[in-house]
Amino acid sequence: IPHPLLKELVEETYGVLVYQEQVMQAAQIIAGYTLGGADILRRAMGKKIKSVMDAQKDVFIKGAKETNGIARRTAEDIFALLETFAEYGFNKSHSAAYAMLSYRTAYLKANYPVEFMAAVLTADQGNADKISHNLAECNAMNVPVLSPDVNESGADFTPVIEKDEGSIRFGMASIKGVGEGAAQVIIAERAADGAYESFTDFIVRNDDKAVNRRVIEALIKTGGFDSLGEDRATLLDGLESTLAEAESARRDREGGQGNLFDMLGDEVGVADEDKPSNNRRSVEPMGMTEKLSYEKELLGFYISGHPMDAYAGIDAAIDSFHHPDELVNFDDRSSFRLSGIISNLAIKYTRKDSKQMAVFNLATRTHSYEMIMFPDPYAKEGARLEDGKLALIHGLIGRRNGEMSLAAHNIFDLEISIPKLISRINFILHPNDKAAEFIELLRETIDDQYGETCVNISFLVEEQIIETQTAQSLTFTITQTNFKKLRRHPALAGVRIEAVDLKPVNDRRLWKKRQRSG
């Protein structure tokens, strides 16, 4: 209980101030506030206006002394408690509603995670930032989100439950460039005449006004036709000719003209419609980087993978933290190192002198972190900031009023930085006939890319790691390409990576300016 005089007030909430009404009543009981004065205090706390809060603090301390003879130190403690409460408190009627909603949604999320998250994603359809946040939450909950599919997707996000496992199918209406109208046309045609049998079948059956070139391109780029068996690059390359053939077929039908295959029967006619798909020239399959770029652009999220997947294992060694919850373990002004892909870059200007600074997100394989780059480091490093860039960020962690912030100070190209960051790799092998193959592959890698990263080889024997004596001359230049090739070898049981120590970032001027500008 904050004070014996407040015992009756906080009895129903077990000694804790929960409602805004309690703050107002506490001010009346302790410091003799009128109801109107208490409301002014409540509003001042809610808006956190320092000048008004300082004035109210003096009124509160003086009133507590005059009304109840409460000592200044005690009055200050009570006021600080009320001030802290104002950061989270609601009025009683709102609190009851929020409590009920929190309980019910928590129950649904815990017991029906797939259905719940599908509903949340659908509710936020059209809001790219919220969709991205919710998709990241699905990832954290181990709920797979499947790419759009012209034969499986609805307009909205839909739960897919198979046996005891579930996933969410991306809704076509949420694809940038598709929208609700085109999605409904595609779904209605599918419901009327069955699943689409080929890309050409899809083009011919859908109205080209509702399902136009832009819609089709967006579906190709996001994997909407992947299940029909042709690569995205091939479909994009042949789109122009396919659309032209489909338009010609429509004109023939509308003009009452048939062809020999139409006369021979529906079965042959369908086969003929599929025939143009075989005429599309085969091109180089779309690479993962291009796929992910399109998915990020049109879905707001990566579906087929993540640009940082190629650095799995390396990022675990070089990053200072791997989850936002870990930030509470760092002191104010602690240095950090974090790898990821830059997105949502925005250039801003300081109020006082209109100097440029930047805010951006850095997405690791599992989480996204908001970062700020203040004017001084931006003047030196800002040219290196670029949406879609794989980067290594050095910076400082800030703690202020219970909130954490990440200030970027240096930006490095991730691929170039890796050889300088990894000091040693210990490859742990199964002691079988594949081990010799791995060692030969490693020898070839060292011969081709000699460098500074030391190599150790160990063996996993009866759940124990047995280290071998490895020559100090076994060193190579590690890249995401050769590391991926080595770690996929069947002889590999595991890998341990050691990174060089993080060099502290020292720029107190940066933080002094931050404190003044806040």
* 50-64: average pLDDT: 87
Assign 277 a pLDDT band (cuts: 50, 70, 90): very low
Which of 416, 440, 468 is a domain's end point? 416
Taking only the tens place, the pLDDT of each residue in 284-317 is 999 988 999 899 889 888 888 888 988 988 999 9
Is 272 a residue whose pLDDT tops 60?
no
Q: What is the mean pLDDT of the chain?
A: 87
Condensed to tens digits (0 to 9), the pLDDT of residues 145-176 reads 999 999 999 999 999 998 778 999 999 999 99
Any long-range contacts for 120-126 (C-beta under 8 Å, 24+ apart)?
A: 121/157, 121/168, 121/171, 121/174, 122/156, 122/157, 122/171, 125/156, 125/157, 125/171, 125/173, 125/174, 126/174
Residue 266 one-letter amino acid: D
Give mean pLDDT, residues 445-456. 90
Last residue of a domain, one of 92, 126, 161: 92
Q: What is the CATH number of the domain that holds 442?
A: 3.40.30
Please report the pLDDT score of residue 89 as a whole number.
73
Same domain, yes or no: 83 and 24: yes
More confident residue, 249 or 26: 26
Q: How many helices (H) and strands (E) does the chain have?
A: 22, 13
Q: Are residues 136 and 221 in the same domain?
A: yes
Asked whether residue 515 is assigned to any structural domain, the reply reads no
Average pLDDT over residues 442-465: 90
Select the more confidently predicted residue: 371 or 40: 371
Domain that residue 371 falls in: 311-416
Domain boundary among 63, 92, 121: 92
Supply the pLDDT for residue 505.
83
**pLDDT reading at 365 higher than 70:** yes
Give per-residue pLDDT as tens, 169-226: 999 999 999 999 999 999 999 999 999 999 999 998 998 888 999 999 999 999 999 9
When pLDDT is averaged across residues 10-16 and rounded to a whole number, the result is 87
Looking at the structure, tell me whether residues 129 and 239 fall in a common domain: yes
266 has pLDDT over 50: no
